[in-house]
Amino acid sequence: MELSRRTLIAGGFAAMLGTTVGCSSSMDTGSTKKNAGGNIAMWCWPGGLGKTVLDDTIAHFPDQHIKYSEVGGDFKQKLLTTLNGGTAIPDITGIKGEDIASMLPQANRFVDLKSIGADSILGDYLEWKVKQATTLDGKVLGIPIDIGPTALFYREDVFTAGGLPGDPAKVAGQLKTWDDFLAAGVELKMSNPKAFIVADATDLYGTIVNQGTARYIDKDNKFIGDQDHIRKAWDTAVKAVTLKVDGKTLGGSPDWNAGLDQGTVPTVTGAAWVALDIKAACKTSVGKWRVAPTPSGPANFGGSFLAITKNAADPAAALEVIKYMLSADNEAKAFADAQIFPATPAAYDKPQLKAADPFFGGQVPIEVFGPAAKSIPIAYEAPLDSAIAVPFTDGLKLVQAGKKSSDAAWSEAVAKAKQIGKRQGVQ
Q: What is the pLDDT along the chain (427 residues), one digit of tens a residue?
A: 334 444 444 433 333 333 333 333 344 444 578 887 889 999 999 989 999 999 999 999 999 999 999 999 999 999 999 999 999 999 999 999 989 999 999 999 999 999 999 999 999 999 999 999 999 999 999 999 999 999 999 999 999 999 999 999 999 999 999 999 999 999 999 999 999 999 999 999 999 999 999 999 999 999 999 999 999 999 999 999 999 999 999 998 999 999 999 999 999 999 998 998 999 999 999 999 999 999 999 999 989 999 999 999 999 999 999 999 999 999 999 998 888 999 999 999 999 999 999 999 999 999 999 999 999 998 888 889 989 999 999 999 999 999 999 999 999 999 999 999 999 899 8
Q: What is the pLDDT of residue 4?
A: 41
40-148+302-347 and 151-300+371-382: same fold? yes
What is the rounded CA–CA span in Å between residue 217 and residue 353? Answer: 36
Q: What is the pLDDT of residue 38?
A: 80
Q: What is the DSSP string of 122-139?
A: HTTS-HHHHHHTB-TTS-
For the chain, the structural domain boundaries read 40-148+302-347, 151-300+371-382
Burial bucket for residue 213 (CB in 10 Å: 0-12, 13-18, 19+): exposed
Whether the predicted model's global pTM rises above the 0.95 cut: no
Give me the phi and psi of 66, to 5 degrees please: -65, 125
- Compute the radius of gyration of the chain from its Cα atoms: 22
- Distances from the Cα of 35 to the Cα of 88, 313, 318, 335, angstroms: 8, 5, 12, 32
What is the rounded CA–CA span in Å between residue 329 and residue 323? Answer: 11
Q: What is the CATH number of domain 151-300+371-382?
A: 3.40.190.10
List all residues 6 or more positions away from 193 whose beta carbon is below 8 Å from its beta carbon: none
Give me the phi and psi of 303, to 5 degrees please: 90, 155
| Residues 327 and 306: beta-carbon distance below 8 Å | no
Q: What is the pLDDT of residue 398?
A: 98
Residue 32: name the closest of 315, 312, 311, 314 by CA: 311
What is the rounded CA–CA span in Å between residue 204 and residue 238? Answer: 10
Q: What is the pLDDT of residue 28?
A: 44
Q: What is the pLDDT of residue 325?
A: 97
What is the rounded CA–CA span in Å between residue 111 and residue 7? Answer: 30
Q: What is the DSSP string of 379-397?
A: ----TTHHHHHHHHHHHHH
Looking at domain 40-148+302-347, its CATH architecture is 3-Layer(aba) Sandwich (3.40)
Residue 272: name the closest of 181, 179, 182, 334 by CA: 334
